[in-house]
Amino acid sequence: MVLASASFAADAGELAFNACTMCHSIDPKVNDLPGPNLAGVLCRKPGSLKDFEYSEGMIAFAKLHAVWTPALVDEYLADPGKMIADTPMELPRGSNTPEKRRALVAYLQQHGGDAAKACPN
């Protein structure tokens, strides 16, 4: 039953991630979008992609957080501007419900490699 639940969450996560694809990708080879690549984002240091120019707010945020945990991603997605005042990230209307955020985090874990799958909450 747990596998079915995880599979359902990942499918719902793929649908939720579709709202992100104008700015983000989970394909590690794609680096020409307005937002940072999200491949392996879970358990990665915030603001740490080598060739991405982060906002001053994200740089300050990164000094306070060791890694993006599932819980931290969920909190950020709930209200990006509250956590990082100068973030250019905007979420499509209706895309940040608790259910969609959980599904999106499950999707990032499923497609983020071994580190993401093992990332603690």
SS3 percent helix, strand, coil of the chain, rounded to 5, is 50, 0, 50
pLDDT > 90? residue 7: no
User: Domain ranges in the chain?
Assistant: 2-118
Look over the chain and give the mean of its residue pLDDT values, rounded to a whole number: 87
Statement: residue 5 has pLDDT above 70: no
Query: pTM of this prediction?
Result: 0.86
Give the contacts of 86 (CB within 8 A, at least 6 positions apart). Answer: 55, 56, 57
pLDDT of 9 higher than 90: no
49-101 pLDDT, tens digit per residue, is: 998 999 999 999 999 999 999 999 999 999 999 999 999 988 888 778 999 99
Kindly report each contact of residues 3-8 with a partner whose C-beta sits within 8 Å and lies 24 or more positions away, as own/partner. 6/106, 6/110
Mean pLDDT score, 5-21: 77
The single residue listed with the structure tokens 């999106």 is 104
Give the residue, 112 or 50, on which the prediction is more confident: 50
Q: Domain 2-118 has what CATH class?
A: mainly alpha
49, two tokens: 């992609």
- The whole-number average pLDDT for the span 33-58 is 94
- The pLDDT score that the predictor gives to residue 113 is 78
